[in-house]
Amino acid sequence: MSIRPIYLDSHATTPVDERVLAAMLPYFIEKFGNPSSISHIYGWEAEAAVKQTREILAAAINATPEEIVFTSGATEANNLAIKGVAEAYFQKGQHIITVATEHKAVLDPCAYLKTLGFEITILPVQKDGLIDLTELEKAFRPETILVSVMAANNEIGVLQPLEAIGEMCRDRNIIFHTDAAQAIGKIPLDVQTLKIDLMSLTAHKVYGPKGIGALYVRRRNPRVQLAPQQHGGGHERGMRSGTLYTPQIVGFGKAVEIALAEQATENPRLRSLRQRLWEQLSPLEGIHLNGHPTQRLAGNLNISIEGVDGAALGLGLQPVMAVSSGSACTSANTAPSHVLTALGNSEQLAYASVRFGIGRFTTQEEIDTVAKHAIATIQSLRKQTTLV
């Protein structure tokens, strides 16, 4: 029987927590009703379950349940937010601001809108992955209708200064959207304090099921208008038609509930494991940390390694650990990570990078095993290079 590699790719996805699965199971077989069927008990059960998750998600970000719109995931939520604002506000302006290190689920919708005549400003980031607020200040125009900046980066874990960005947008009556797929349940999120108008969420990064996400849409001060991108039935306040997937929604709510309850103890544990891994790897020459050293997700460590071939590095690590060299969502692309090159890394360093995503079920023993094997692999590859 083969031994499965140690899983350290929690930014790509996470396993469903057994407590989440237990909450979901009744809604597949016993309570299988359509939440829109409000004339009998099967529909009432499903409707009540959906309502409960709306309340959980709303409480998690200090919103109201009516402001939660369910989607198939954060990619759909990002598309609904960005395209929905563009279509609803195009008469007010056709300028959107985003950041070079955003997920492709933000950059690609923006690129699409550019083909329709919208102007897109893509802000650079500093060496540590943070945006320069003075550059954002310079980018604002009278016709700017939307700013989209992610809360936590999916590759380097960097946490952007959301409160400052939100303040700048609110002062100018510009809608502020954030992709918080990696942030929900991991860092405090308050849409009122941060002045966020649209927030994309997903379940599978926080030990919930794949295929379910949500978009927070502010209803007052200001009320945000969105043009729906999917029609047919008028579900979700007309913003996203389609029968709601009740088991997935239940799982989403339970996953966020658990994450919030355990956040105060889990983050220090993850931070300790990350530091333990970094302390073992960093003494090697030519190891570079990608992203801000402290203003990042507790479970994220992203490094670039001099003097090794990226493909050989991946093959060398593979038997012992499951890690990523970039975003799993773009792994079919052979180009170097756009996030790592935006930090100023050369193509060689961007290719020879490893993203360690430490998660809920990662142990100290696993961290030590991973560090030992990674060091041996790097040293072996460097030795081979010098012999050639």
pLDDT digits (tens, 9 = 90+) for 143-154: 999 999 999 999
In angstroms, the Cα distances linking 156 to 120, 139, 180, 303 are 24, 24, 14, 9
The pLDDT of residue 19 is: 98
Catalytic residue numbers, as ranges: 329
| Same domain membership, residue 191 and residue 69 | yes
Domain residues for the domain of 48 are 18-256
DSSP-assigned beta bridge partners for residue 354? 303
- The amino acid sitting at 275 is Q
Indicate the angle between helix axes 364-387 and 310-317, nearest 10 degrees. Answer: 140
Residue located via tokens 């991973």: 370
| Same domain membership, residue 270 and residue 252 | no
The pLDDT of residue 238 is: 76
| Same domain membership, residue 126 and residue 73 | yes
- Kindly tell me if the per-residue pLDDT of 387 is higher than 90: no
Domain boundary among 210, 234, 256: 256
Q: Using one digit for the tens of pLDDT, what is the confidence trace for 23-33? A: 999 999 999 99
Q: Is residue 349 a part of any domain in this protein? A: yes
Q: Using one digit for the tens of pLDDT, what is the confidence trace for 279-310? A: 999 999 999 999 999 999 999 999 999 999 99
Q: How confident is the model at residue 2 (pLDDT cuts 50, 70, 90)?
A: low
| Same domain membership, residue 196 and residue 164 | yes
Q: What is the CATH number of the domain that holds 274?
A: 3.90.1150.10
Q: What is the CATH number of the domain that holds 224?
A: 3.40.640.10
Q: How confident is the model at residue 333 (pLDDT cuts 50, 70, 90)?
A: low
The pLDDT of residue 369 is: 98
| Same domain membership, residue 327 and residue 270 | yes
Domain boundary among 231, 256, 281: 256
| Same domain membership, residue 301 and residue 226 | no
| Same domain membership, residue 173 and residue 40 | yes
Give the C-alpha separation, 182 to 180, whole Å: 5
Q: Is residue 211 a part of any domain in this protein? A: yes
The pLDDT of residue 332 is: 53
| Same domain membership, residue 367 and residue 249 | no
| Same domain membership, residue 339 and residue 246 | no
Domain boundary among 198, 227, 256: 256
Q: Is residue 298 a part of any domain in this protein? A: yes
How many domains in the chain? 2
- The amino acid sitting at 266 is E
| Same domain membership, residue 269 and residue 251 | no
Q: How confident is the model at residue 385 (pLDDT cuts 50, 70, 90)?
A: confident
Give the C-alpha separation, 164 to 346, whole Å: 31
| Same domain membership, residue 293 and residue 225 | no
Q: Is residue 1 a part of any domain in this protein? A: no
- Kindly tell me if the per-residue pLDDT of 50 is higher than 50: yes
Q: Is residue 120 a part of any domain in this protein? A: yes
| Same domain membership, residue 318 and residue 225 | no
DSSP 78-93: HHHHHHHHHHHHTTT-
Q: Is residue 45 a part of any domain in this protein? A: yes
Per DSSP, which regions of the chain are E strands? 6-7, 68-71, 95-99, 119-123, 144-148, 175-179, 198-202, 213-217, 287-289, 300-305, 321-322, 353-357
Give the C-alpha separation, 188 to 194, whole Å: 10
The number of beta carbons lying within 10 Å of the beta carbon of residue 119 is 14
The pLDDT of residue 384 is: 86
The pLDDT of residue 233 is: 81
